[in-house]
Every structure is written in structure tokens, then in C-alpha cells.
Structure 1
């Protein structure tokens, strides 16, 4: 009788043990085997389809929320943030925050929400913190006038060295106003800052203790026709290019082709990514929502480097479909349709993260 029943009649407990050992990407094939196998699946949401928008319910100690433009859902986990801390940068699975006197680092995938504190900051807090994802972290003073960058290096044992501050500028040295809301970016190992008039400054760590450690570059050609915008965001593209996103209604527009990629901007991290989702190609996404998404309480589960959100409730499996980006503001390049922010709300205290490189 057991031979006649075959694979389609395996006990559910045994099927669940098998399923728990399979990568997330194999689950659709598993479910397609037969109705009995499909009955043991639980719903999950892949994290690698598009960048996610990390936000918090309130500034301070609160649970982390990951908004997916693909599903138009907000996935909430039990991780909490340090009180009165703000997002600074996101690199892979690492989130860097800044409190009044400390730089904090947390792993977005840790269920405990453990936060690692870097050495104390001696002076007023940094305007921005930039992390290379492995060994170096820069604290940049860009509130008001740009006057330098401090650096901390991670030792082999995982601890961070004290912040190394630049030498004071000589009296009467030229000071430059950084562009409003422009985030510094690491590009080819060097730190770049965009000035208010469109010029670029590059930080040379080999001249850290010398006067003039910031080299001022000429304006990019695209800015020569008139550089004025409300917001600007520097980023390194997926092809290693240093690029800027200018948000505003004045000045000469710079036309570029995304070549089928999607651009996620509007926060301290901007990302240009290839996507298999057709309706996301050649579009620019900003953290503006037409309606607030449903919240799903989840765990982040890692299987062989593939990350997925798994609801905390043991609900039966259900179809998980995309919402065609109906809830988030986006602009398609070349479109002549109105692109105003009417009837949208900004997702304050948020930052884009990308888990696609974690598997």
C-alpha cells in the first residue's frame, strides 16, 4: 500500500522538514508538484526582488519597517533603533545611525536588534556618516560649511579605532557650502561631496593631516548650464559611475538613459539596479506613497544566502502577487504625463537598502 501511495502522499511533517532545507527560490517549483505538497507551504516575501525602503514608526526607539515597492506592503520586524538616532547610510545588510555623540552600527538581519557603538565623537555630531561596508567609516561635517571628514578603521578583531580628525585649516582658508541635503559618497575608494554651486570635492585620506586635504574639482559639464535644485543625491551606479540625481524645477535638465534599470533615490542612499520586474524598468522611485500600505509582522529568514520575510503567524499558504507599484510614486523616463506629488505622503526617516547582494 505504501508503494502505491508514492511521493505525493508523504507525511506533511516530513515534507516540512524537506522544505525547510530548500532555498526560497525553489519553493514555487515545490508547490507545483501537487496539491498535497502545496498544502505545507507558508507565505513568504522575497527581499531580493527590488531595493527596500527602511523606515520607522517614530524617530527614536521603535520597530524597523521594510517597505517593498513590488508588493506595496510594509514588513515590520522586532528590531528596535536607539532613541533619538537618525539614519546615516546603508551598505548591504549594515545600517549606520548617528546619535548626539556616537555613531551606531546595526545588522538589519539580527533578530535581537543588537546595536554596536563606535568610539565617541569628540566634537559636534557629524552631518553624514559613510561606510564602505568592511573596514572604513567616514564622519563628514557638512552642516553649514564643509570643513572636513574624520575617519575610523575597523581592526581585525572587529573593533573600531578612535576617530582620526583632520588638521585644523589655516586661518583665512576658503570654506565651501555643501549642497543642501546632498549625501557624500565613496567612489573608487575616495570620498566625494557635492558643493552648492555644482563643484565636487574629493577627500584624499593620504593628506588627512595636511592643510588642503579636500581637492576641489571643476563642475561636471552637465552642470555648466545652470545648477539649481531643491535636493541632490550623489551615488555610485551599478556600473561604477559617479552620478547625481537633481530634484527641482529650475535649471538645465540632464538627460540620461537607465538602459532598462530602475533608480531608487530621495534618501541618503541612492541605488541604480537591474530588475527582472518589467514595470519597474526605466523608472525613478522616490519615497512618496499614494496610500499607506498594509503592515505584515515578519521574521527575516536566511536560507543559503537567500533572504525572505516570513509572517509571524502560521497562516496557510497564499498567493503572493505584485501590486504593480500602485502605492509608490514613480516617474518613467520619457513620459509626458504629470509627475506631481499630489495626494502622496513622504516616508520620513527612511533609507533605501538592497539585499540582492546578500545571496
Structure 2
């Protein structure tokens, strides 16, 4: 008598309710892979956008450890990442692309917003950094610009993907001008230079090519100011590669957007966003074209998430 043939389980026909239960047990970072299995599985996965493409505003709450929160303009809701970082009293020093970097005294943590991996960067030997800036490739800059003399350090990623130790630039001269940069806006890479925003629209520039030759930030003669009154200001590079700043008056209004005319080195007021959305208020200031109609030509400000 012929034995019955064992049928392989048909995973593609599992009930949707069961698939949703499985999905709830998986981290968000694995949802795209889950949805890629087949059309049926993809039908239970919420629309997913890579972190480096999605406009997000990030903040952190220190509740014994660091709870990460973000705002999604697509859903118009605030979310909290389920995994907390064991980093009490840490502060954001970068939230650029998929990099989320937090500083503690002599310790830096980097979280990958896509994979969820968290690891320590090379230790800091001189105080801590106010900002960490990535060039999008294999270089990372630590910047100290708010209190005391400015300091800059450079780390390079090796062939194994690990960061080398920090290479500190020589400190500036004793009588050099101190920088008091805007504490809420990351320095911005633009045209191969690193720009820091000072009070009232002045800019300081760091040239990496001079890093090994007493390289330090130099305050530019122009622009001298915005020519507009503001309480808060955030520097960013637009999706068209323009150096821009968004200005907020007392209690958030009025809102002005200006761009740097690099021929005249003067700030010029921008009248329209051209159908784009601008997200600011944290270290994640960015401008993006939006497919979501109600977000176009709007400025989203995260004062406290």
C-alpha cells in the first residue's frame, strides 16, 4: 500500500490574524523583510519608509535610561522606540540620516536607526562633544563649540567598518575668538566645508584640509546678520544643496526661512517651499519633497515630543 505523501506547509496561506500576531513579536527593522516574503504577508505590514528617507523628528526622554521618540508626518503621530538605550543623562549630538548619536561624559553611543544596532564609538579624551557630524561616507567629526575654546576631532572608518580613534586638531591660540554656536542645530557640511551657525546669522567655517595644520573654525566677515529678529534658529542644507536657515520668533511666530546667497554672502528671505515640507526643532532639521498633500509648504516644529 502506498504511503500518503507528506505535504509541505503552505506558509503563504496563513490567516492574516495569525500573521499580525507574529508581526507584533518582531522589531520594526525586520518588517520590510517580513513583507518581502510574498504578497499575502505584505498585506499585513504597515507602510514602511527607510529612516534615512523618511522625515523624522527625534527626541529623547531620560527615564532611568534613554527612551527614543520620533514624529512621523505620514501618520501625524508621535512614536516611541520599544528598545531603550542604557544611556542615562545622554544628550543628542547627531541625528543625521540613519545615524543617531548620543554623548555622555567621555562616552559616545551610536544607534543605527535601520538595524537597531547600538555600539560605542571611540572614547573622548577632552571633555565631550556638543555635536557629531558625518560626511555620508567614511569620516566623522566631533565638534565642541558652545562653551570654552572650540575643539574639533576627526575619526575615519577603516576597511572593516570600525571607527579609528579620534584625531584632535591642535587647539586654537589663547586669544582666539570663542564660538557660541546655536545649541540646537548641528554643524552642516556644505561645499566640502563644515559650517557652524552663530547668533544672529553669523557663520563659522572649518576646513578639513587644514585639520593637521592647526585647523580650527574661522568666523566669516559676512554674512553679518539675518536682518530679522528671531528667538530660535536652525541651519540646514536643502534638498537642492542650498545652505538655509529657519528662524522662529518669540513663542514660535513668526516663521521665516532664509537662504545664503553665496555670491554676495548675504541671507535672502525665501517666500515659498515649492511644495516641500520642512521639519525642524531638533538636530534633524531637513527639507523634503512630499507625496503627502497636506504636508506640502508646511513647517513642522518639534518643541517637545
Distance in 2 of aligned mates of 1:42 and 1:139: 42
> Which of 42, 47, 50 is matched with 2:44 structurally?
42
Distance in 1 of aligned mates of 2:223 and 2:287: 20
Distance in 2 of aligned mates of 1:74 and 1:252: 23
Q: Which residue of 2 aligns with 1:237?
A: 238
Deviations 1:283-342 (A, max 9, x none): 000115xxxxxxxxxxxxxxxxxxxxxxxxxxxxxxxxxxxxxxxxxxxxxxxxxxxxxx
Q: Which residue of 2 aligns with 1:14?
A: 12
Distance in 2 of aligned mates of 1:56 and 1:116: 17
Q: Cα gap change, 1:280/1:163 in structure 2, threshold over 3 Å: closer, same or farther?
A: same
Deviations 1:75-117 (A, max 9, x none): 444332132222221233221111111222121233xx54221
Q: Which residue of 1 aligns with 2:93?
A: 88
RMSD of aligned alpha carbons: 3.4
Distance in 2 of aligned mates of 1:262 and 1:25: 29
Greater RCO, CA 8 A, separation 6+: 1
Q: Which residue of 1 aligns with 2:297?
A: 282
1:54 and 2:58 correspond: yes
Distance in 2 of aligned mates of 1:119 and 1:21: 32
Aligned positions, number: 266
Q: Is the contact between residue 180 and residue 232 of structure 1 (CA under 8 Å) also seen in structure 2? A: no
Q: Is the contact between residue 180 and residue 230 of structure 1 (CA under 8 Å) also seen in structure 2? A: no
1:100 and 2:100 correspond: no
Q: Cα gap change, 1:178/1:62 in structure 2, threshold over 3 Å: closer, same or farther?
A: closer
Deviations 1:162-218 (A, max 9, x none): 111121222322333323533211123321101224221111112123346323323
Q: Is the contact between residue 184 and residue 281 of structure 2 (CA under 8 Å) also seen in structure 1? A: no
Q: Is the contact between residue 100 and residue 111 of structure 2 (CA under 8 Å) also seen in structure 1? A: yes
Give the alignment of 1:136-175 within 5 angstroms: 136-145=139-148, 147-175=150-178
> Which of 70, 74, 79 is matched with 2:74 structurally?
70
Q: Cα gap change, 1:192/1:170 in structure 2, threshold over 3 Å: closer, same or farther?
A: same
TM (norm. structure 2) is: 0.74
1:59 to partner: Cα distance: 4.9
Q: Which residue of 1 aligns with 2:133?
A: 130
> Which of 265, 271, 288 is matched with 1:273 structurally?
288
Identify unmatched segments of 5+ residues in structure 1.
1-10, 31-36, 289-345, 348-359
SS of the equivalent of 1:279 reads helix
Distance in 2 of aligned mates of 1:21 and 1:91: 22
Identify unmatched segments of 5+ residues in structure 2.
1-8, 20-30, 259-268
